[in-house]
Amino acid sequence: MAIRILLGLVAGALLGALVAPEAPWLIEYFARPAGQLFMRLLLVLVMPLAAAALVLGVAELKPGSIGPVARRAFALTLGLTGAGVAIGLLLVTVVHPGRGVDRAALPAGDAVAPITGSPVDTFVQMVPDNVIAAAAKGELLGVLIVAVLVGLALRRTENAEPFRAVVQGLFDVLVQGVQMVMWLAPLGVAGLTATMVAKTGLGGLAPLARFVGVVLGAILVQGLVVYPLVLKLLGKRSPLSFYRAVQPALAMAFSTASSAATLPTTLRVAETELRLRPDLARFVLTVGASANQNGTALFEGVAVLYLAQLYGVDLSLAQQGFVVLVAVAAGVGTAGVPGASMPVIAALAASLGIPPESVGVLVGIDRFLDMCRTTLNVAGDLVIAAALDEPGR
């Protein structure tokens, strides 16, 4: 799929640069509708899928049942996730990858009213007074907050298995729906790219290339600076020996773009190569496969600020703090499957006055970046397990 999407990106760029000037009707009647259709099909599934995933995720979390190890692992998770988001936001602010683009070529749509005001006002506006109205207006963030409340209530409710089964069934059906839509991704990406290049020329891809560079730079800083510091200071381990030992898990993470699919390899590496305590490794790595997505959080923070730059939305300090908080929270709860960050990015974009359709500019390169950030996620799980391991116990 990644190769097909990349081919779609290249084909769209060539179509927009070489064919469109001689046959503009190809853009108007084929490329632009194809891109819009793909995005509409994807976005129509975003809200129910994200809500179902959050209900199930919150309902299954048991933060108080494991004791000191859970608390320390949770603290490290928050610390590493916060560091990753901060590094990403610093780089995107300094590099400013969204500059120099013709906004007329960007995916358009109706954004909800942005969340503005003081931090207190920002928090209040996040909570809807009518979830049906919020869903009808496309206020995805409000729907997700209600989903968290439903998940918390589900954890405290006895004899609620029938409801849980319904939500699980809804989630499974919607996941299949997204997978079906993603078969159209090469065509949709080609249409979106051709439309942009036809209006801006190949130079219109420069901001996207800068965005990729910022994301990869932030991932490298997190993986080659922050993680080694944690390994040295808390785990008393050689970072070089650590990375040499975990190569099989990182290779699997990169190829599958799924922390969950990499979990068996991660567990084997932890016990046989790093020689971590089996009980600790199994707990930290199993929970981390879904609850420690600091690479994903880093990407989400960078992506939202990049989209804000593309659409000329100036974010206040309170709004940037809001992005950090939501990205960190999402990094602790985003599903460990490919593409799970797109609903979060769409929700954050809408809450800041950016059309949720804006995520269309990211679709073409998301799969490659997903592979990279998943590798960082899995490395982070292993770093936390190594940092918490206490030989001799």
| 3-class SS string, 117-181 | CCHHHHHHHHCCCCHHHHHHHCCHHHHHHHHHHHHHHHHHCCCCHHHHHHHHHHHHHHHHHHHHH
> What value does the CA radius of gyration of the chain take, rounded to a whole number of Å?
21
Tokens of 27: 């853009």
pLDDT tens digits along 193-221: 788 777 666 666 778 888 999 999 999 99
Q: Which pLDDT does position 301 carry in this prediction?
A: 86
Nearest-angstrom CA–CA distance, 363 and 43: 12
Q: Residue 283 pLDDT > 80, yes or no? A: no
| Residue 18 to residue 28: CA distance in whole angstroms | 15
This prediction has a pTM of: 0.68
- 152 pLDDT exceeds 50? yes
> Where do the domains of the chain lie, and which CATH numbers do they carry?
2-388 (1.10.3860)
**Does the pLDDT of residue 126 top 80, yes or no?**
no
Question: Could you give phi then psi for residue 220, rounded to 5 degrees?
Answer: -65, -40
Ranges 57-71, 104-118, 329-343: which has the least confidence: 104-118
Mean pLDDT of 304-314: 85
Separation between Cα atoms, residue 147 and residue 136, nearest integer Å:
16
Q: Tell me the average pLDDT across 112-118.
A: 52
**Higher local confidence (pLDDT), 155 or 378:** 378
**Residue 172, Cβ density class (10 Å: 0-12 exposed, 13-18 middle, ≥19 buried):** exposed
Please tell me the predicted confidence (pLDDT) of residue 228: 95
CB 196 within 8 A of CB 106: yes
Work out the mean pLDDT of the chain and round it to a whole number: 79
Report the phi/psi class of residue 159: left, alpha or beta, with left for phi > 0 and alpha for psi in -120 to 50. left
> Of residues 363 and 243, which shows the higher confidence score?
243
pLDDT tens per residue, range 5-43 = 778 878 888 888 888 777 888 888 888 898 888 877 876
With CA atoms as reference, report the closest residue to 40 among 370, 360, 304, 307: 360
pLDDT at 336: 47
| Residue from 39, 330, 332, 51 nearest 174 by CA | 51
Q: How far apart are CA 94 and CA 90, in angstroms?
A: 6
The percentage of residues in the chain with a pLDDT greater than 70, rounded to a whole number, is: 79
Rounded to an integer, the average pLDDT of 242-264 is: 82
